[in-house]
Amino acid sequence: MSEKTKSSEKPSMKGSLDSAVDFLIQQANERIVVLNPDFTIVEANEAYLKAVDKGKSDVIGAHCYEITHGLSVPCSNYQPDLGCPLVETLRTGESAHVIHDHPMSGGESTFCDLVTYPVREQDGKVERVIEIWRDITEELSARWQQRVKELKDDLKKLVQEDRLISLGKLVASSVHEINNPIQGLLTFSHLMRDILDEGELSAENIEKFKKHVSLMSTELERCGNIISGLLSFSRQSEMAPADIDLNDILEQVIALTRHKMEIQSIHLSARLSSHPLIVNGDVNHLQQCFLNLIFNAIEAMPEGGELHVKSEQDKANGNALVKIRDTGSGIAKENLAHIFDPFFSTKEESEGTGLGLSIVYGIVRNHGGDIKVESHKGKGSTFLLSFPVP
């Protein structure tokens, strides 16, 4: 054979790829396929064939997009934003990288990290492209789980910080509520001392004593309940999902905020379900969720108004429903779409952080629930929360 004939022959696959490289391709654990510029498959290793669940005779000569995506046109034509590393390598002559979601046998999908490398002719023109797949489904799943954990931890921190802000509001209100019975106790103790100073107790004075002691006992129990409620609310504990009755949480929150409503001339109407509304969730988070909504309602009615709290079971799907409605200032239509955004607030800078409703939203969604709001400027707001039942 003449030198001229030899030089005019097109290099074979073995001529283009060193036998050692070809061996590595076949032995590699990663999925490797060799492609022509027209998307046809020249070579594929066992890992690739196993991934696409096809024999070598079915793959060689077929278009890569037919084998991996079941398409009749290249991926980039079908879905421009998907990105094709082969096209990019042919365009730039350099290695390219994308992540694709590939359908696999059995109807499942896998996420693959695709990297392409050019194989050049002697004149530098890209003759073929080697494409290497790396299955990153488990890696992405692990990253996703880690991110979810981080988000839950962040929510937990935000809830606790928000609880401290709420605790400050509750304490400010409870100071007045506790001060009233203390003044009453002092008054009764002075009266009882005066009676004792008179000398021997008469039957009439004994009856007065009994009445005073009974009233003092009632007031002391009232103070004890307020303190117990504040201590329970301020206690930081690990998030521990459990089956709990939403009615119990609503009663606790109402008890903590009732005095604040009274001194602000807000009439409370609480219509709680006659039977338990059991959901699986965290007591502290749900308590904070309802407290934020009630505080918002109170702050929307500085001149007084009506607050309606209702709980019931949804007849359609069995979910637990909680409705909190106020007759306050309402929310402007242009702000409704943003009320759950972090740091969004229509209050003065000194009146809040703008995190209250975003925390509420996070808690509800974290419990698999849903929250909706209806509001009209000057006509009050209604928040409807829905939670799945176990």
Q: Work out the pLDDT band at 174, boundaries 50, 70, 90.
A: low
Check: CB of residue 111 under 8 Å from CB of residue 136: yes
Tell me the residue type at 297: A
Angle at which helix 246-263 crosses helix 137-197, to 10 degrees, equals 50
Beta strands in the chain (DSSP E): 31-35, 41-44, 96-103, 109-120, 126-135, 242-245, 266-271, 278-281, 305-313, 320-326, 370-375, 381-387
Q: Say if residue 322's pLDDT is above 90.
A: yes
Q: Which segments of the chain belong to CATH 3.30.450.20?
A: 17-135
CB neighbours of 166 closer than 8 A, spacing ≥ 6? 233, 288, 291, 292, 295
pLDDT, tens digit (0-9, with 9 covering 90-100), for 96-130: 888 777 665 555 667 778 888 888 888 888 888 88
pLDDT, tens digit (0-9, with 9 covering 90-100), for 85-98: 888 888 888 888 88
What CATH class is the domain 17-135? alpha beta
Q: Which one, of 326, 337, 329, 332, lies nearest residue 361 by Cα?
A: 337
Residue ranges of alpha helices (H) inside 236-330 are 246-263, 283-299
Q: Which segments of the chain belong to CATH 3.30.565.10?
A: 143-387
Q: Find the mean pLDDT for residues 5-25.
A: 50
Q: Is the dihedral of CA 109, 115, 116, 117 positive or negative?
A: negative
Check: CB of residue 249 under 8 Å from CB of residue 283: yes
pLDDT of residue 177: 63
pTM above 0.75, yes or no: no
Task: Give me the percent of the chain exceeding a pLDDT of 90.
Answer: 18
- Residue with tokens 């304490």, as numbered in its chain: 171
CATH of 143-387, one of 3.40.50.1000, 3.30.565.10, 3.40.640.10, 3.40.50.720: 3.30.565.10
C-alpha distances in Å from residue 94, one per residue of 52, 116, 188: 26, 8, 91
Of 50-64, 190-204, 216-230, give the range with the top mean pLDDT: 50-64
Mean pLDDT, the chain, whole residue set: 77
pLDDT, tens digit (0-9, with 9 covering 90-100), for 199-242: 777 777 788 778 777 777 777 776 776 676 666 666 555 556 88
